[in-house]
Chains A and B, each alone.
Chain A
C-alpha cells in the first residue's frame, strides 16, 4: 500500500543547495582542471627534456619535504592548543622565532670559541637545548599572561589577543636584537656535508631534520598516548569541565600543552636556522601561518595529521609552482610560492573541511 504522506524535503535544506554550493563546486572543478592541465604540461616538458631533470626533481622533493617536516613540527603546537583551548595561537610562530634567535646567541658564541667546529654534535645539541628552553618559556609565559585570564571569553577575544601577542613579540625581539637579519654559522662537521643514503646524496642538515622530526613525532606519540600527563591532555582537550571534575588539574595540563608545543617549535627553530641560516625578528610570521595551514590540512587537533599536513604543505609550496604553474606557462613561478601555500589551505577547506585525517576537537568546539 502506498503511503499517502508525501516526502517533503527537509525544510529549507533543498532550497539552499543553490548558488553557494554551485559556486563551491565550480571552484572545485576549476581547481582540479587547472591542476591536471598544469601537471600534464610539466610532464610534457619533462618528456621533451625541458624543465627540471629527474635528479633536480628528486632534490626538490627532498628539500620540500624537509621544509614540510619543520612546518609539521610547528603545526603540532597549533594543533594541540587548538584542540585544548579552541583558538589559533597566532603567537606560536613567534615562539618558534624566539627559540631561533636566542639560539643564535649560543651558536655564535660557540662558533667564535671554536667549539662549534670541534664538537659539532655537542654544539648543536647545546644550541638545541637553548632553543627549546627559550621557546617553552615564551609559550608558557604567553599563556599565563595573555590567555589564562581570557579562558572564558567569547572565542574571538583570545584570537585577537594572540594577534596582539604575536605583534608584540615580533617587535620586542626587533627592539632587542635589531631589525637586520642575522646568520647562523655554517652547519658544522658532518652536517655540512653531503651524505649518501640509499644511493641518494642528501645534505647532512636535511638528514638531521628528517631524523629529529621522526624522533620527535614518536616521542610525542608516546607521551600523549602512554603517559598520565598525555592522557590528561587528551582528557582536557575532550572536555575541560568534566576533566576538571574528574580530578585533573586543568590549568597545569594546559600549561603543559603550551610547553610541549613550545618545545617542538624550539626544535623546529634550531633546525630551520641550521638549514637556512638566516634569522630575524619576522622569521616566524609566514612559517607560523603555513604551519597552521598544515594543521588544518591534516585535521586540526590531530597530531599525526599535523605532521602529514606539514609535509604535504611543504610539497605543495615547493613542488607546486614548478609542477603545476610552470606547466601552465606562467612566468616567474617561484614568486608565487606563498600564494600556492595559501591556495592549498583554501582548497583543502573546500574539498575536505575537516582535514585529511579528520578533526579531533573538544565537545565545546565541535560545531
Chain B
C-alpha cells in the first residue's frame, strides 16, 4: 500500500462524509426512490459512491506533478480496500452511537429508521459488520477501477452515467418517448429500471463509447478549432436553433414549464455574467433588477395594482421597464464606482435587500401592494394567440426563448466590442486600464446598466407568466443562486451560463421551483454550497469555460506545465549525454 497515511486520511474523510450523509437523512429519504429493481436505491447509491470515489483516490495516491500514478491492480485494490474499510469502520461507529443514544431531540434525522437503512436491514451489531464489509468492497472496487486501462475506465464511466441517467430521469424519458409499451418494458411498476434493462443500457453505453469515442473526440476538436464562421459551426448552430424551435411542441407541459424556469435563470445568468464575468464586478444584489422588471411590469400592466395602474399592454410596458432598470443600474453603479471588490459585493447586496424591503413595506403598499403583492398581471398579448401566460407554457416558452436569444446576442456582441475589451482590461488591473485611457467609470456603469436591462427582461416575463408576484421571489438567495449558476457554468462564458442553468436549475431545482430530481429539494442548497466551493477549488473557470478565463485562472499551472515539459526535455538530454 503506497502512501499509507494518505490512505488513512482518505478513509477518515470517507467515514466522516458517509456519516454526514446519513445524519442529514439523505440515505433514508433517497432510499424511497428505486433506481434499479429491486435493490439499487438512490440512497445507497449516494452513500456508497463515497467509498468508491475514495477508493479511486486512494489508489491514485497523493498527487504529485512529477510522477504518473501507477495503475497496478494489486496495490490499487489494496489501497482502495483499506480506505474503504476505514471509512466503513468510522461510519459504523457513528451508526452504533446513534443506535445507543437517542439524539432525535437535537438531530431529528438520527433516528432508528436511519440505523435500519445504514445496517442494510440487519440491525446492530450484525449490520455494522455488513456496513464495514460493503464499504471495503466499494473502496476495493474503486481501486480496481483505477487500475484499469483508459479505455475500460471510459467504458465504465459511460455505462454508469447512462444507466443512472435513464433511471433518474424517468419522467423526462417518458415525456419524450411516449411509446408506452417500451416504457413499461424498461421501467418497473414502482419506478426504477428493470435489472436486465439496466444491464443492456450499460453494455450498450460501454460498447458505443469504446467504438465511437475517438470519432466523438475528433469531432469535438474539429468544432472547437473551427473558424467562427465556418460551415461546420454554422450548421451546428442551425441544427441547435431548429431543435430549440421544434422541441417545445414535442415536450409536454411539465418539461416546458421546467424549461421556462431554466430560461429565467439563463436570462439572469447572462445578465450577471456581464457584470461579474466580463466586468469583474461582484454584484450580490442582482435580484433587485429582476424585481424592478417584475414589479415594474406588474404595476404598469395589472388593472388591480393600487394607485398606479395605467393598465398598459405588456409590450408597451416593456420599454418603460427597461428604462427603469437602466436607471436602477445607474443608481446602483454610481456610488460603487470607487469601491473595492469586496465592498462592492456587500453594498450591492445591501441595495438588493433595501429594494426588497421597500417593496414589501407597509409604507409603499399603496404603490406596490406590500405583503399582498401585485396580482392579476395579464399575459403577453400575441396576435392571433391572445394573451399568453403560464397557462400555456408551450407557447410562453417561445417568448422566453426570443428574449434569451436577444440577451445572448447582447452578451456576445458586447463581449467582443470595445466595451468588452475595456471590461477585460479593467478586470485584469483597474489602475493600468485607467492609465491606458480607458474610462472605468463608463465601463462599469455600462456593465451595470446592461446587466440590469437583461434582468428586467426576466422580471417582465416572470410577472406575465405567473400572474401574481410577491417579494418572496426576490430574496438574496436568488442572487446567490444566479451567481452559482454563472460560476459553475463558466464565468464569462455564454454557453457556460446555459449549461449551468440546465444542470443546476433544471436538475436540482431553483430557489422557488423544483427540478427534475425533486427528491433533492431539501438538500439542493447544501449541494449548491458544496458545488460552489468545489468548483472554486478545482475548476474555477466552470463547466464550459471561456478560453480567456481558463488562461487567466490557470496561468500558473500552464506555465508550470510548460516548465515541466522543458524539464523533461532536459532529463532526456542528460540521459543522452550520460550514455
Contact = CB atoms under 8 A, between A and B. Distances in A.
Interface in B460-498: 476, 480, 483-484, 487
A335 B357 contact: yes
B354 A167 contact: no
A249 to B, nearest CB: 22
* 6 nearest CB pairs, A to B: A164-B532, A175-B24, A168-B529, A167-B529, A342-B350, A332-B362
A335 B523 contact: no
Given A168-B532, A296-B346, 14 more contacts: A24-B334, A88-B346, A159-B341, A160-B483, A164-B528, A164-B530, A164-B532, A165-B533, A175-B522, A331-B362, A336-B357, A342-B351, A342-B353, A353-B339
B536 A164 contact: yes
Nearest to A347: B335
Contacts of A330: 363
B480 A339 contact: no
Contacts of A292: 346
Given A156-B341, A289-B346, A161 B107 contact: no
Contacts of B484: 164
A252 interface: no
Interface in B537-552: 537, 540, 552
A238 interface: no
A166 B477 CA distance: 12
17 contacts: A24-B334, A105-B106, A154-B552, A158-B536, A159-B282, A160-B487, A165-B533, A166-B529, A167-B529, A168-B529, A171-B525, A289-B349, A296-B343, A332-B363, A335-B362, A339-B353, A339-B358
Size category of the A interface is 35 or more
Contact of B335 (A27, A108, A342): A27
Contact of A169 (B20, B339, B529, B531): B529
B175 to A, nearest CB: 30
B372 to A, nearest CB: 14
Contacts of A165: 529, 533
A146 B334 contact: no
Contact of B363 (A150, A157, A336): A336
A339 B341 contact: no
Interface of A: 16, 20, 23-24, 27, 82, 87-88, 104-105, 108, 146, 149-150, 152-161, 163-172, 174-178, 285, 289, 292-293, 296, 330-332, 335-336, 338-339, 342-343, 345-346, 349-350, 353, 367
B306 to A, nearest CB: 15
B511 to A, nearest CB: 12
B528 A175 contact: no
Contacts of A159: 282, 341-342, 345
A342 B354 contact: yes
A160 B282 contact: yes
Contacts of B354: 339, 342-343
Nearest to A18: B441
A82 B487 CA distance: 23
Contacts of B363: 330-332, 335-336
Given A108-B105, A342-B353, A353-B338, A171 B526 contact: yes
B411 interface: no
Contacts of A342: 349-351, 353-354
A47 to B, nearest CB: 24
Nearest to A169: B529
A77 to B, nearest CB: 15
A292 B349 CA distance: 12
B480 A349 contact: no
Contact of B525 (A16, A158, A167, A331): A167
B362 A349 contact: no
Contacts of B107: 176-178
Nearest to B25: A175
A20 B441 CA distance: 9
B347 interface: yes
B536 A161 contact: yes
A175 B526 CA distance: 8
Central interface residue in A146, A149, A171, by most chain B CB within 10 Å: A171
The secondary structure that dominates the B interface is: helix
B339 A349 contact: yes
Interface in B401-449: 441
B537 A176 contact: no
B282 A20 contact: no
A88 B347 CA distance: 12
B48 interface: no
A155 B483 CA distance: 16
B108 interface: yes
The secondary structure that dominates the A interface is: helix
Contacts, number: 159
B69 to A, nearest CB: 20
B379 interface: no
Interface in B124-174: none
Given A160-B483, A164-B536, A336-B363, A346 B24 contact: no
Contacts of B339: 349, 353
A222 to B, nearest CB: 29
A149 B537 contact: yes
B532 A167 contact: yes
Nearest to A101: B106
Contact of B537 (A161, A178, A331, A353): A161
B24 A176 contact: yes
B351 to A, nearest CB: 7
B536 A160 contact: yes
A16 to B, nearest CB: 7
B361 interface: yes
A161 B537 CA distance: 8
A176 B21 CA distance: 10
Contact of B523 (A156, A175, A338): A175
Given A16-B441, A172-B20, A175-B526, A346 B532 contact: no
A342 B525 CA distance: 25
B380 interface: no
Contacts of A87: 342
B35 interface: no
Contact of B357 (A149, A154, A338, A345): A338
Contacts of B480: 163, 167
B378 interface: no
Given A338-B357, A339-B353, A150 B343 contact: no
Nearest to A165: B533
B31 interface: no
Contacts of A178: 107-109
Contacts of A149: 537
Interface in B349-389: 349-351, 353-354, 357-358, 360-363
Contacts of B487: 160
A171 B536 contact: no
Contacts of B338: 353
Contacts of B26: 175
B340 interface: yes
B503 to A, nearest CB: 16
B337 interface: yes
B280 interface: yes
Given A150-B536, A166-B529, A176-B107, A346 B335 contact: yes
A104 B107 CA distance: 12
A167 B476 CA distance: 12
A220 to B, nearest CB: 23
A88 B345 CA distance: 9
Given A88-B342, A108-B106, A296-B346, A157 B536 contact: yes
